[in-house]
Amino acid sequence: MTARSRATLIGIGALAALAGCRPGSNDPPSGSGGRAGAADAGAGSGGARGGGGGGGPPFGVGGAGGTRDAGAEVAGTGGAGVDAGARALPGLGRCVLPPAASDAALRAAYARWTTDLVTSDGANGFQRVRRPNSGNPFNSSNSEGIAYGMILAVYLGDQGLFDNLWKYEQRWTQTNGLMNWEINPQGTAPSGTGAATDGDEDMAFALVMADRTWGGRGSLADTYLNYARRQIDLIWSLEVDHNLGDVLAPGDQFGGGSIVNISYFAPAYYRIFGQVSGKPADWDKVVESSYRVLQATLNAASGNASNGLIPAWSTPAGVPMAPPGKPTHHQLDSCRTPFRIAQDFCWFNEPRARAYLEKISGFYAGIGATRLVDGYALTGAPMPNTGLALAAFVGPAGVGAMATPAFTRLRDDAYASVASLSASSLGDSLYYNESWTVLSLLMLTGHLIAP
């Protein structure tokens, strides 16, 4: 078995343990492609599943026995500056976990998230993620939140919630198959039309993971894998601008990718989408365009060449430019970029990812995790009237710092901050900051692994 296969097996086994379940009794031998057992999450969720499975890494995941922690030891791996015996996120990049990382903190954060944000009210007989004090209007749902919920549900073994969120999403698709980006609280009409690419790609990734975790279809009308493939194809055809170097557009109604949101770029996903769709060469083009644009946004003219502070919106050539009413400074969209880029380094050892993470982690570390504000000019000056140490900023900063041994204090302090579940970290959006608390803890505890 390769080191990559062994790391993935360890991660999936621990994920099953975290969800309060065991792998299925028909697990294949080491090196075979089985699925991890999933907990019975309630009505429509089904029981544990074992055996089956597909081919080799990254998708042929074996049903290994559960362990307390998902982090594999990296002793003997040769990672520069990595302590022997340190726990790492399973993957090729050997991203090291905070020593204090605890599954109990993850469970507590998920319990708070489900209590505060998941509702059946206005969900058309299903479930949705609501935004109690943000959105237009309050208590509405958006595709981004449904996608975050699907990722959390599949990694925490909550199949019933996963299926209900996807059924809600399917209730609100446009004629082209992609979800309208915002739905009113009553569940009677879209309050924002058109698709948002970040939500669409997070859903596609979650569907791939659902296939690898549970297989089959659960309580859905079709299989997780078929839904994933259709979603991936829709993103390719409607949300990738093939006339501008295959850059990721912000949505299906933005007129292409002449203005982009860099925090939507998820190159680790695109590698996976290529494998699942059978079109790796196509999706490699989106990987390349993502790094090309990311690098272009860091330049002397913007004063951010060395600090990693990408603008919220930009042209593909790296000129800060936004749709009407949107910002261009580094803010509560931009702060997601270290998280998405860290996934590509941690899972696939992409050197361009690490190069970017060294820049942004250096800037964040110079300030300190608990002193980060939620807005910076691209030059590094803090913006006025900003929140302090919000989870959506601090959590992804900690995830990005997992890639580089020089920034262990940033990583550890960020983990301690989000794991504390402090009310002060939630700012003006309970939904956004609670979601990023749990997503960040999934990475920081070693459970958010590649399928």
Query: Cα(436)–Cα(426) distance, rounded to whole angstroms?
Result: 10
Contact 247, 182 (CB under 8 A): no
Residue 226 neighbours by CB under 8 Å, 6+ apart: none
Query: Cα(425)–Cα(196) distance, rounded to whole angstroms?
Result: 26
**Catalytic entry in 144, 182, 246, 350:** 144
- Inter-residue long-range contacts of 69-74, CB under 8 Å, 24+ positions, other chains counted: 69/14, 69/97, 69/101, 69/103, 69/445, 69/446, 70/10, 70/11, 70/14, 70/15, 70/18, 70/445, 70/446, 70/447, 70/449, 71/97, 71/101, 71/445, 71/446, 72/6, 72/7, 72/10, 72/11, 72/446
**Catalytic entry in 163, 198, 333, 413:** 198
Concerning whether 144 is annotated as a catalytic residue, the answer is: yes
Q: Which two tokens stand for residue 449?
A: 């692994």
Concerning whether 200 is annotated as a catalytic residue, the answer is: no
Which residues are known catalytic residues? 144, 198
